[in-house]
Chains A and B, each alone.
Chain A
Amino acid sequence: MEKDKFSVRDLDLYYGSNHALKKINLQIPERAVTALIGPSGCGKSSFLRCLNRMNDFIPGCSVSGKVELDGSDIYDANTDLINLRRRVGMVFQRPNPFPMSIFDNVAYGPRLHGDRDRNTLRDIVEESLRVSALWGEVRDILHTPALALSGGQQQRLCIARAVAVQPEVLLMDEPTSALDPMATARIEELVRELRTRYTVVIVTHNMQQAARISDTTDFFLSGEMVESGPTQQMFTSPRDKRTEDYITGRFG
């Protein structure tokens, strides 16, 4: 692992008076899969939303500290949010394709950012669907409604949609929690492939999933980052007692 994509320093997050993230310090390596694990309510999603500033939309949410992306603080006053979210894509817990065609879903991002040419768009759509391993299944039904796809296909479509704006980072918040085991396996396989091109940060409450797909794991507990390290090491010889208790299933 060469370089850190994100470097988070002394990050605090409050929802009103609820101190949801406490002095988080961690690095997220580039072109690798980082898993965020921990019991529900510990702040994984809140942390993830700090990385593309989706927390800005939540009333009463305030953040302090530094989140550096390639060395510059994204919480800086003159950060271009549009550009930030273009560089840092997001896939949500529940598949949320737009109520439009498969093609229009994938082309949505590129169109926002000014791509109008039909051929360019067609190429981007095909490439993105290939990356998300959906092309073979939808190549003949590109202009049918995305909502007619199965849940697993919808989630891969959401990945294609995120990939279409050529992000550097993909944030995924429990992307398989609404899917059946077969669909989950496909997404996991896909995540492993994505790491060659993107920095992936994935929230999961499924320990086996974290162990299978991630290079680095960060363990969160009640708003604190307890332990961070190579996944292998974390699951075989955790340094912290609380990590050990959690991954051996003693709580959470």
Chain B
Amino acid sequence: MSGARKSKDRTATIMLWLVMALTCGMLALILAFLVSKGWSVLSWEFLTKKPRSMMTAGGISTPIVGTLQLVLVSMGFAFPVGVFTAVYLVEYARDDWFTRALRLAVRSLAGVPSVVFGLFGLSFFVIFMGFDPSLLSAGLTLGCLALPVIVGASESALLAVPRDYRDASYALGATQWQTIRKVVLPAAFPSIITGAILSVGRVAGETAPIIFTGAAFFAPRFAKSIFDQVMALPYHVLILATAGTNIEKTRPIQYGTVLVLLFFVLGMTMTGVLWRARLRIRQRAQR
């Protein structure tokens, strides 16, 4: 390598390092800031008690449970619909204009701002379907948000299943559906799950889609039915930050809530990423 190229190469390496250090530094800074503000309120009580006294005291068990319920409803909808959409696209659809339009629609959905999903949920689930603002409406709206992620992950997982497996199955007299159900889906399942876990992380942290569709400003108890409204962690943070009447008292609760949410979302993302890494290693070992 010539001297000029070598020095350019070194400059590029250094630049990349700097950018990476900056990114990591920012993440560390955010974490440090939140921990310093919110760590003190974290306790078993905080996680298991309901908010009291106009949300200036007590814990955050209602928004925690609410967020978990929202995640469950959204995945209960988005997981099967997403996986079967991908199965249709990869295994059944012919390469015609309809398929291409469907694929494009799913891709574009991934880029739509989340507040648009919120408005869609309001007009479709809440008003048109008549579900009112509820766990169901908000969960389905979040499900729509997760759909493109799950479809995308499932599509690439299905495409990665070797042709050999399908051939072997058909050669034994299997039908297409038998082949998909017994060989293709099980082989693709770990990567599909990874996609789903990553989308849970996204869903749990969203505020805009649930504000008009079922998130409660305050709910005295856990939702007993899918037609009840629920409190949710991200919305709880928003409320404490903007509508608090007693800032001195709500600030620590607000940061504590952010920390809990962050741990949950980061935990999900890390699980997904680590799982995916493990899968890659195992798949490579099998080749």
Q: Are A108 and B164 in contact (CB under 8 A)?
A: no
Task: Name, among B171, B178, B183, the residue most crowded by chain A CB atoms within 10 Å (CB to CB).
Answer: B171
Taking CB atoms, residues of chain B closer than 8 Å to A57 are 167, 170
Contact between B168 and A113, CB atoms less than 8 A apart: no
Contacts of A85 in B (CB 8 A): 170-173
> What's the Cα separation between A84 and B182 when bound, in Å?
20
| Bound: A226/B154 CA distance, A | 48
Nearest-CB distance from B240 to chain A (Å)? 49
Q: A54-B167, A92-B167 are in contact. Are A98 and B172 (CB under 8 A)?
A: no
Q: In the bound complex, how far is the Cα of B175 from the Cα of A207, in angstroms? A: 36
Main secondary structure of the interface of A (DSSP, over half): helix
In contact, A86 and B168 (Cβ under 8 angstroms): no
Is there a chain A Cβ closer than 8 Å to B43's Cβ?
no
A195 interface hit (Cβ, 8 Å)? no
User: How long is the Cα–Cα vector from A125 to B168 in the complex, in angstroms?
Assistant: 17
Chain B residues with Cβ under 8 A from A83's Cβ? 173
CA distance A82 to B173 in the complex (A): 4
- B165 on the interface (CB 8 Å rule)? yes
Q: Flag if B170 contacts A54 (CB, 8 Å).
A: yes
Q: Out of B169, B170, B173, B183, name the residue touching A113 (CB < 8 Å).
A: B173
Distance between Cα atoms of A137 and B201 in the complex (Å): 46
Identify the interface centre among B165, B172, B174: most chain A CB within 10 Å of its CB.
B172
Task: Choose from A54, A99, A113 the contact partner of B171 (Cβ within 8 Å).
Answer: A54
Q: How far is the CB of B181 from chain A (nearest CB, A)?
A: 11
Expressed in whole angstroms, the Cα–Cα distance for A96 and B187 within the complex equals 13
B186 an interface residue at 8 Å Cβ cutoff?
yes
How many angstroms between the C-alpha atoms of A156 and B209 in the bound complex? Answer: 55
B170 lies within 8 A of A94 (CB) = no
Contact between chains at A86 and B172 (CB < 8 Å): yes
Answer yes or no: A8 CB below 8 A from chain B CBs.
no
With an 8 A cutoff between CB atoms, is A161 at the interface?
yes
- Say yes or no: is A21 at the interface (Cβ < 8 Å to chain B): no
B111 at the interface (CB under 8 A from A): no
Q: Would B172 and A100 count as touching, CB distance under 8 A?
A: no
**At the interface, yes or no: B286 with Cβ under 8 Å from chain A?**
yes
Q: Which residues of B contact A81 (CB under 8 A)?
A: 173
The answer for the CA separation of A76 and B266 in the assembled complex, in Å, is: 59
Task: Evaluate whether A158 and B168 lie within 8 angstroms (CB atoms) in the complex, with A85-B173, A112-B178 already known.
Answer: yes
User: Could you tell me if B286 and A161 are in contact, using CB atoms closer than 8 angstroms?
Assistant: no
Contact of B172 with A108 in the complex, beta carbons under 8 Å: yes
Given contacts A94-B164, A112-B178, contact A99 B187 (CB under 8 A): yes
A13 proximity list for chain B (CB < 8 A): none
Query: Closest chain A residue to B171 by CB distance?
Result: A90
Q: Given the known inter-chain contacts A92-B164, A98-B165, A112-B178, please indicate yes or no for A52 contacting B186, CB distance below 8 A.
A: no
Cα-based distance from A89 to B175 in the complex (angstroms): 15
B172 with A165: CB separation less than 8 A: yes
B contact residues around A229 at 8 Å (CB): none
Whether A96 contacts B165 by the Cβ 8 Å rule is: yes
In the complex, the answer to whether A98 meets B168 with C-beta atoms within 8 Å is yes
B172: chain A residues within 8 A (beta carbon): 85-86, 89, 108-109, 112, 161-162, 165
| B171→A98 contact, CB < 8 A | no
Which single residue of chain A is at the shortest CB-CB distance from B183? A98
Q: Which B residues, 148 to 185, have Cβ-Cβ distances below 8 Å to chain A? A: 162, 164-165, 167-175, 178, 182-183
Which residues of B pack against A, CB within 8 Å? 162, 164-165, 167-175, 178, 182-183, 186-187, 286
26 contacts between A and B (CB under 8 A): A54-B167, A57-B167, A57-B170, A82-B173, A82-B175, A85-B170, A85-B171, A85-B173, A86-B173, A89-B171, A89-B172, A90-B167, A96-B162, A96-B167, A98-B168, A98-B183, A98-B187, A99-B165, A99-B186, A108-B172, A108-B182, A109-B172, A109-B173, A112-B173, A147-B286, A161-B168
- Taking Cβ atoms with an 8 Å cutoff, the residues of A that contact B are 52, 54, 57, 81-86, 89-90, 92, 94, 96-100, 108-109, 112-113, 147, 158, 161-162, 165
- Known interface pairs A54-B171, A81-B173, A112-B174; 6 further A-B residue pairs with C-beta atoms within 8 A, sorted by A's residue number: A54-B170, A57-B170, A86-B172, A98-B165, A108-B182, A165-B172
